[in-house]
Structure 1
Amino acid sequence: MTQAKAGVLADIFLGKRNVPLHVLKDGSFLLDTDGESFKLIIEYLHDGRLPDMDVDSTEGSSKCEELLLKSFQTARKYGLHKYLHDLDQYVPIQRFKELEANKAIVEHYAREILLALNKTDLEQNGKFAILLRPTLISSECCAHFCRFASVDTGVHLTRYCSLRNLSLLCQRLRCIGYSVAETQASCVFRCSTHKEGDTARKNCTSRGHVLTICCKI
């Protein structure tokens, strides 16, 4: 327990913190933390063994990922900096930290999506498709109305939505229990306001994204 000299956990056991150390009748110590995820920390402190997960895998079992994230958060609580550093190689930890860094904007997107979600239609049809209003418009020189794939409703995002933040948005929606598929929708047309034979004439292109949300997992 005192391996991480600069950490909170070591300080507690060395009596350097004003935190009571509860000793049970059998001589064991009681820590108010999740036992299953803390076991991963004990194994690391004992012999440097990291959790047995594929560090390059973007698809792990949800239970393994949950356990890994709990261990990560517990390590933060106890200031186990070396363990936290070594956990950075795991894809779920990388995604979690990126989601944290973009939390404000992703949560903003998520609220807009959930406000537009008709849960009654979702339950009846098993899915609900939402068009995120075009995030890139190459030209606005005519009054063409873009028609994308069939959707149930549209949402005009009030902030610019990068592809990476869209991915994080989908991840956030999955975290709260929805199955989400994201596809890009495009509308390309020739603007009638340009003269025929104009070599500078360009296609007017509009792109959006369709989130197809399925019933809670």
Structure 2
Amino acid sequence: MGSTALKIDGLDEHREVGSHRDLDDSSQELLHVLAVDDSLVDRKVIERLLKISSCKVTAVDSGTRALQYLGLDGEKNSTVGFNDLKVNLIITDYWMPGMTGYELLKKIKGSSTFREIPVVIMSSENVLPRINRCLEEGAEDFIVKPVKLSDVKRLKDYIMKEELVTTEESRVSKGTLKRKLEVSEEEDHVISSTTTSSSSSSSHHHRHHHLHCHRVHRP
């Protein structure tokens, strides 16, 4: 946990640039980030930084609410989740009551649906064993608060990297399927040709045998 002053480091000098980027990217689909923090002040900070960086933000106050949003809470009638919105990245505070960011990370990485989403952990404490544990569990990065605009820009790099990997995997998968179909068609063609050739040979042999028998029995 740990509160952060509402003054955002590096914001003023980037305000104009951020507004121009909003205009330039208005026709493009915004990247969607799920931000998790029990501190209202910290949620406002990360939400504002992400919006300056042209991201769509969904902010929740606990790991439980994050799981509800993703539909991983086991409740069939969740009133929080909006599963039609794709989440491109999850950023969560480490120390929260009820469920820590580390526990949330493990839940996400244990899900076949969401395990590929980059997860970034935030903390006001720079504790090396904690950082290593999160990275070993699959966290993309560990950010020490207060979160800065440069940190958020780095988050977008993680999102774009994941998108490129997903696109490449999709392309490879489609290419593999196409090759399998081509091989299957070639095999069908060979089988068809072999069957036709075999039938033709059998027919020729039958005619030859018939003529031979006819000559033998001629008076």
Q: TM-score, normalised by structure 2?
A: 0.29
More helix by share: 2
In our comparison, the structure showing a higher alpha carbon Rg is 2
Normalised TM-score (structure 1): 0.29
Which protein has the bigger strand share?
1
